[in-house]
Amino acid sequence: AQTVTQSQPEMSVQEAETVTLSCTYDTSESDYYLFWYKQPPSRQMILVIRQEAYKQQNATENRFSVNFQKAAKSFSLKISDSQLGDAAMYFCAYIRGNTPLVFGKGTRLSVIA
């Protein structure tokens, strides 16, 4: 079974600085998708960024970018110019084909003003 591991339960970053959240996953498949979701205190799970495994280029969405290392099964999220609104739980997730999303346990990010 696929597993997703987030080894950092909590992280903090100064406003305007850069932070990187780590994620590793285990799969024997070659074609899959990876996601980072943000869950603020409002509880709404919001998609931050997605990466298709067949694409070598790392995905980027404004201040958010990923470092996708397929061979190492690593998928880290970099947040640049951190803002107070970035404070939330961040979940790494994996999906392949018609299988359901598999989530990590999450990383709680605090942003210090």
Q: Report the alpha-carbon distance of residue 102 to residue 2 in Å, rounded.
A: 7
Closest separation between CB of residue 72 and other proteins, Å? 21
Query: Is the C-alpha dihedral spanning 35, 7, 42, 99 positive or negative?
Result: positive
* Residue 86 vs 106, nearer CB to other proteins: 106
* Residue 85 vs 97, nearer CB to other proteins: 97
Q: How, if at all, do strands 64-69 and 60-61 pair? A: antiparallel
Closest separation between CB of residue 42 and other proteins, Å? 7
Q: Which residues bind other proteins (CB under 8 A)?
A: 4, 33, 37, 42-47, 50, 91, 93, 95, 97-106
Closest separation between CB of residue 74 and other proteins, Å? 18
